[in-house]
Homo-oligomer: A and B are copies of this chain.
Amino acid sequence: MNVSFAEIQGSSSGCFAKGSPTRLVLDHVSSTWGVLVLGTLSEGTRRWGELRRDLDGISEKMLASTLRALATDGLVHREPLASVPPHVEYSLTPRGRELAERMMPFLEWIATNSDDEPL
């Protein structure tokens, strides 16, 4: 790590302040479901039903609102397919891929350090 939290906050005025664009994006992506949706889509395009199956415990409503927030932020792309029955495919945008890549060391640390026993 070469950059500190203070440096990050100082990089733009009001960074992560209440009501700022940075806080809004942080709210969207920094949630259990935001993280797991981005992680799952980093593996490739998924249909709605596949996301429901892969995301253990997510409700229809929560999946819909998580995907909507990530799409609004330009991180997830929604592609309606001309199929019968109709399907929608979800994938990461280039920006979404950038962000997902930067989350992996964080997720790897949790996977390695919280599995066997309480921290």
Q: How many residues of A contact B (CB 8 A)?
A: 61
- Given B9, B11, B115, B118, which contacts A112 in the complex, CB threshold below 8 Å? B11
Assuming the contacts A1-B104, A11-B111, A105-B105, asked whether A119 and B73 have C-beta atoms less than 8 A apart, the reply is yes
Chain A 98-119: CB-based contact to B (< 8 A → 1; otherwise 0):
1111111111111111111111
Closest to A98 in B: B109
Residues on B with C-beta less than 8 A from A40 are 5
* Contact residues of A between 30 and 88, Cβ < 8 Å to B: 30-32, 34-36, 39-40, 42-43, 56-57, 72-75
16 contacts between A and B (CB under 8 A): A1-B105, A4-B42, A4-B104, A5-B39, A5-B100, A8-B104, A8-B111, A12-B112, A12-B115, A16-B56, A25-B110, A25-B113, A25-B114, A30-B31, A95-B119, A99-B106
Q: Is the CB of A119 within 8 A of B25?
A: yes
A96 to chain B, nearest CB (A): 9
Nearest chain B residue, comparing its CB with the CB of A106: B102
Closest to A2 in B: B104
A18 to chain B, nearest CB (A): 4
Given contacts A23-B32, A32-B30, A36-B16, contact A75 B109 (CB under 8 A): no
